[in-house]
């Protein structure tokens, strides 16, 4: 099977000649089923900047089948952008390294500290990940900390990291003015000598408070100690055998039975003493009495979002017009993917971000207010799931109201994946009211390719 990037690099497939343009943007949403694998290249004259946004999948087989056919020259990237620390957003990362991919930097959704690792690890064990999945995702953390993916750049840049990217310096923060209210902030990167930028957004996780509340529960001391040791071992780079022992200890501790206080069922019957596992106690500790939902259940709201597109006013005093050509591997479907002329040719990936209340929706819109008007291709949050919004979808309609007319909504999902309703019919119907909907599934013919010049 030919490399999909070969399609993008062939002048014969382009409606214009590459050598006549100052800037050329090529992006592909690959068909890997329930997951996300977005590859983009920004070329200015002879300089190139390449990145991958997200890399997770419900089943890694589809991604591996694609990337194992690529030549080594197509496997060198500047950035790997990971939208979430959830296991299904990390589970393909090691496959990329194993297949010979290289990155100058990995951009994480949050600063990876001890409290955050405990928080994320608790999500894994309350989500009932098996030992092989725990082992795999822990290895990804080990490789991130070891620098295997390149220098670590937190997406939020909360510690003021505003250095230029290594290499030819095509992307830098120094070309953008920073202001006091966060518009075009230190989370933004400008493409030099071009009308293009990349801008990140995420909500920081309040990990410490959540962890303290959970581990206040009795009988969780041993579990807490082992999880702490795992976090410390990641930094100390202990052997894989030692790490496996610690992971096994976690699962063994979760199964340990604890005698609960006796409860009398009636005046005549003696008190009955029940047993619960440490996992039962942990699950109860993770719930709040107010809503019965988990303290750590809403991690999706902290997904790392990325805008990649033209620089908005007033930071770009220019009126450059672009042409965006869209195709997929099924030419019958290509006819429905309307091309675009103008400046609204940007792309936005939003991971699994949730908009369940006006505060979260408006916070996102205020941050990206100028960029949303230039976003012609927008990924649907959480593969098009309805559960990311309020029941009557008022927040989703508020989200869709920001999209330019005639834009493209993309769901990277597998409708055949059991019982998830990704994408949901109600979401697809709403998308049709404000633009065109396209599903990128496990079917290779749904692969979306866009060329902007």
pLDDT band at 297 (very low <50, low <70, confident <90, very high): low
* Domain ranges for the chain: 4-110+155-202+303-452, 111-152+204-299
pLDDT digit string, tens, across residues 93-133: 888 999 999 998 888 887 777 777 888 888 888 888 888 88
Least confident of 103-117, 347-361, 368-382: 103-117
Query: Are 123 and 133 a contacting pair, CB within 8 Å?
Result: no
Nearest Cα residue to 84 out of 27, 34, 36: 36
pLDDT digit string, tens, across residues 63-102: 999 999 999 999 999 999 998 888 888 888 888 999 999 9
Second CATH level (architecture) for the domain 4-110+155-202+303-452:
4-Layer Sandwich (3.60)
Query: Are 227 and 207 a contacting pair, CB within 8 Å?
Result: no
Query: Are 349 and 54 a contacting pair, CB within 8 Å?
Result: yes
Token representation of residue 176: 């953008």
pLDDT digit string, tens, across residues 210-237: 788 888 888 898 998 998 888 888 877 7
Q: What is the pTM of this model?
A: 0.84
Half-sphere exposure of 41 (CA within 13 A, CB side): 19
């Amino acid at each position: 099977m030919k490399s999909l990037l070969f399609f993008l690099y062939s002048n014969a497939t382009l409606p214009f000649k590459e050598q006549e343009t100052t800037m050329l943007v090529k992006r592909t949403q690959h068909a890997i089923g329930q997951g996300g694998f977005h590859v983009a290249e920004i070329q200015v004259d002879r300089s190139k900047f390449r990145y991958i946004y997200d890399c997770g999948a419900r089943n890694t087989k589809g991604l591996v089948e694609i990337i194992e056919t690529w030549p080594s020259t197509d496997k060198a990237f500047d950035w790997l952008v990971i939208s979430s620390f959830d296991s299904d957003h990390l589970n393909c990362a090691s496959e990329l390294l194993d297949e010979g991919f290289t990155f100058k930097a990995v951009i994480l959704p949050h600063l990876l500290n001890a409290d955050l690792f405990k928080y994320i690890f608790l999500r894994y064990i309350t989500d009932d990940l098996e030992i092989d999945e725990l082992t795999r995702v822990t290895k990804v953390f080990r490789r991130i900390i070891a620098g295997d993916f390149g220098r670590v750049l937190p997406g939020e840049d909360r510690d003021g990291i505003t250095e230029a990217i290594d290499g030819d310096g095509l992307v830098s923060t120094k070309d953008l003015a920073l202001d006091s209210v966060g518009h075009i902030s230190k989370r933004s990167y400008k493409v030099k000598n071009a009308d293009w930028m990349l801008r990140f957004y995420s909500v920081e996780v309040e990990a410490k408070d959540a962890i303290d509340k959970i581990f206040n529960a009795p009988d969780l001391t041993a579990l807490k100690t082992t999880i702490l040791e795992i976090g410390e071992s990641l930094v100390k780079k202990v052997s894989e055998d030692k790490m496996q022992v610690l992971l096994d200890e976690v699962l063994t501790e979760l199964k340990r039975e604890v005698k609960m206080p006796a409860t009398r069922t009636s005046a005549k019957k003696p008190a009955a003493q029940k047993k619960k596992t440490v996992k039962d106690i942990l699950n109860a500790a993770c719930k709040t009495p107010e809503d019965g939902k988990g303290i750590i259940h809403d991690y999706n709201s902290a997904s790392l979002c990325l805008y990649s597109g033209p620089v908005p006013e007033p930071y770009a005093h220019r009126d450059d017009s672009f042409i965006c050509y869209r195709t997929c591997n099924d030419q019958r479907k290509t006819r429905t993917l309307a091309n675009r002329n103008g400046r609204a040719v940007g792309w936005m990936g939003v991971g699994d971000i949730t908009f369940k209340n006006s505060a979260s929706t408006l916070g996102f819109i205020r941050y990206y207010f100028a960029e949303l008007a230039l976003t012609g291709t927008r990924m649907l949050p959480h593969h098009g799931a309805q559960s990311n919004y309020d029941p009557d979808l008022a927040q989703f309609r508020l989200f869709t109201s920001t999209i330019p007319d005639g834009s493209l909504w993309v769901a990277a999902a597998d409708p055949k994946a059991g019982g998830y309703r990704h994408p949901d019919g109600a979401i697809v119907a709403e998308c049709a009211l404000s633009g065109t909907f396209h599903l990128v599934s496990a079917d290779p013919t749904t692969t979306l390719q866009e060329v902007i010049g």
